[in-house]
Chains A and B, each alone.
Chain A
């Protein structure tokens, strides 16, 4: 058995699957993925729990599988959360430097960060992340580390992600009920972007879209910092549901048709083609027009991208994405999705690949595991930070301690 302190597990309770990724932190700080467990999720809609008992059962299944594979006992997890209630926005905090010589001390930095976090949230909301962007000293923007500089006013920009406390509690409580500890709660959009982006891409500016089963998360990095994030409570489930409705087939059948014949674009050659559905005796039940199938999918996926594009346009970030768009999540498997996204965003789009982790690579380089792997990576950064070996890049900070203990 391994020494437990080196084991980091990421848990994502998703709409279509529950996935556990186990990583081992090497002495040099590199992460090696040693285990993976997953189970079909049956008690989650739009990334929120609707049937706790079912989720608990599925969760135990996924945990068992991951523990078997990694041959370790998982005691605590980094928990990925999502849902339509989660919002992100930018906030600025200011703090006057009071020391006589006007030199900025670590205490000043702590104070200004505290100020930036003091925000007006709806009463039922809680902060999930407050990510430091840049400091400003006397109006000079873009200061990465102001300690030791001289100035009268210290400011900091932060990206704050918040969500409904009770809904976040639900999943935390459930995980704790299976006698697991929750190390930290992480917005899955951040986890995915950690898994997919390297520092260069963050510097150039990139948009990461995680097309999940129930929700679509997106995160924008520019100039090395997180600038924007959001969740659309629309995902692969909606595609299946549209198909079930439009083609008049049961949902389970729609799901299969989506996987087998789905496409994000209407292919010219499918025009007029039909598929016949047969029953177990081989008798024809129904004929489905392939073009309709693809058009229904295409419209839905295009709409998701359009909504994201509109949001970026609104916050004025569309011009900052020089590294383009990266796609992940189960939805990224849909053929033609990259092309569709290119049409909508008018920029370079790639299917994201997880970087900077090692381990069972073939199994790992699947778009739907990006969030799980990102959770492990988040955990590794955090652990290193805790051990004081390095400063956590971009100051991902946990504000969730209180919340976790409360439950």
Chain B
């Protein structure tokens, strides 16, 4: 409700939103007043015949536009476009944009008998979690969005999902995988990244089988929500597989030096080193491992090796680093949506952005495709109808089979384990999509 705010603030707020219907009339009147031969500026009397004809020709176009503008689904996308997480925010945005463009060229999505246009409303929350929640609230109460794509990362999703839950608007989170995000009993939250234990348990089993005599491992985790949760899950999975966790270290956010942690880890002589963090942390850790001549037979890092930046920054040091992903371009799925197969998606993405997509971008597009499918199934763009459709959805897409579990997190995903060989990601597990074998670092 817009009660009580001074005009100037209302105007300032509305400037932030994209204009939906371009204003055509004022220029015509302006044109008319300028060309008025009588020298008077009165808009009505100064309209020349030329202008009247022009208006008559243009009006049907305007009318058609206004009419087709009637059905628009607005989707909120709060992203960290500035600040620490800006690179990740931009990736998510690319994932949405490529879908939005594909949908636009198909003239909108099919909801019942209408073709509904899609409008993405972005907001920059500056990598600051409370701002993310604020941005989401603003989008819902002021922007009239029917659904929200989650912000980047588990922490921000957890915080802003309380907002969407309160307002009963569905949120689709493409980049949140910690189970802790989904444990608040929210009915309106959905996530397209499989939980951490879907990553760690198969990983532990695979390594145990693939690496002879794997006895000890060392874990180094960054001390915030997702990396720490992942590290703890790995510890549990290792225990289940009878691998001894000789050392579990945590490093503070923004740590500049890992020498002490690495020195201590090296002393335990682990067979397998498992490191979690964001790309920048992992680059630093790998470099310092090399400086300290600390090596192990297997080095697994999450989530850096999925990104081009990691490979570029480390060069030869990135060789034989293994990792787990939630999606790879070589996956064999074929499904609904603007991109039939993973390969189609990768091709379209590369053509547009000049870089091979990684799982974060694919997950973002998957969220969009899933929302589209839900809208088509529910034949409505009402938030609650969308939510119900999402809850009961079971669909195959380029991203894989998508089915959300009772907590809202996807439960149908198989996470490929890969290793960097020759600067490329080579999938080593699961067996049905395997491309090569794990190479032990000697």
The answer on A and B forming one complex is no
Interface residues of chain B, those whose CB is within 8 Å of chain A, are none
List the interface of chain A (C-beta within 8 A of B).
none
